[in-house]
Structure 1
């Protein structure tokens, strides 16, 4: 799995990295914890520029957060909850997920957008309550960009360091990446099946 993703990023370069990071925020089939280290790994080999890797990864992450922001802004809390109740299996966002993100935002205020980008369980969803609260776009973009920049920098640096020891860790990186990816897919399919079954019973 690791080699397949590596080949994908090598083939499409920065555009592939941008697309994967955007997709990771919309529907996370492959988490950023696997995507960005690939860029760092290729940068350590001289195949990509580490600064561009960070900037492109950050851009993809920010762009991926915008649809969720506008969802919260235009629909509001009640409608988002209704959408997540009805289409949560497609949105990968159930009502408890919305409540968790909204509670986090209410507790931490504006800094929740920045801090939320550093927490895997929150980073995608935190854009929704920011939109609900009608946070100004310049502030939202600033906080989201800063948080994403820190996150992608750390992951890229990890991949850069990993290059020198790749022969020692390849044996466990590949199985772990497979578990994460297949686990995400299984979770998504399971949630979809459960909701469809519950809808038929209802």
Structure 2
């Protein structure tokens, strides 16, 4: 995967960064940490400039998130109810909880969208409830772009800092991402086994 990313960045430049970041948000297993980290290395080597790198990476991130936002918008809030009633245990949700989450998202959605951009999985998946809650398109774009710009700047800056020892970036990011994922899986399993629907 890393070789593919390196090749596309080398051949495509900013367009390669843009395309990879679109794909990263449509297919989350493609790691943005590696994409922007390699972009940071290219900055240190004089092959790219920092601001255009972050700008094109962030535009790609935002456009990639439109895919999931559109799915949420098309599904809608009420259409989700039969699915929740049928698979509530596996979702660890009942409709009452969905309604609470929906109201919370309507009141604080912009902050949720912004904060989710710094989470390993949340930065992509948050686009679905944003669409379901019909968060205005311009507002979704604004907060997605703002949060992504900060996160991409951090990743590119890490690439610049670790440009001579890039493997260190994967050494640190990889274990942290795995630990977060393991914690999320453990939390989900605990929810499944202890969940009880409201009467």
TM-score, scaled relative to structure 2: 0.70
- 1:170 is the counterpart of 2:167: yes
Distance 1:78 1:27, change over 3 A: farther
Stretches of structure 2 that go unaligned for 5 or more consecutive residues are 85-89, 182-199
Aligned-pair distance for 1:78?
Answer: 5.1
Higher Rg of the two aligned structures: 2
Aligned mates of 2:121, 2:133 — CA distance in 1: 20
Q: Paired residues, what number?
A: 168
Structure 1: 4+ residue segments shifted above 6 A: 81-84
Does the CA contact (< 8 Å) of 2:109 and 2:135 recur in 1? no
Q: RMSD of the alignment, in Å?
A: 3.4
Distance 1:118 1:105, change over 3 A: farther
Does the CA contact (< 8 Å) of 1:26 and 1:65 recur in 2? yes
TM-score, scaled relative to structure 1: 0.69
Aligned-pair distance for 1:83?
Answer: 8.2
Aligned mates of 1:26, 1:82 — CA distance in 2: 26
Stretches of structure 1 that go unaligned for 5 or more consecutive residues are 85-93, 185-202
Q: What is the match of residue 118 of structure 1? A: 118
Aligned-pair distance for 1:14?
Answer: 1.2
Does the CA contact (< 8 Å) of 1:36 and 1:156 recur in 2? yes
Aligned-pair distance for 1:79?
Answer: 4.0
Does the CA contact (< 8 Å) of 2:58 and 2:149 recur in 1? yes
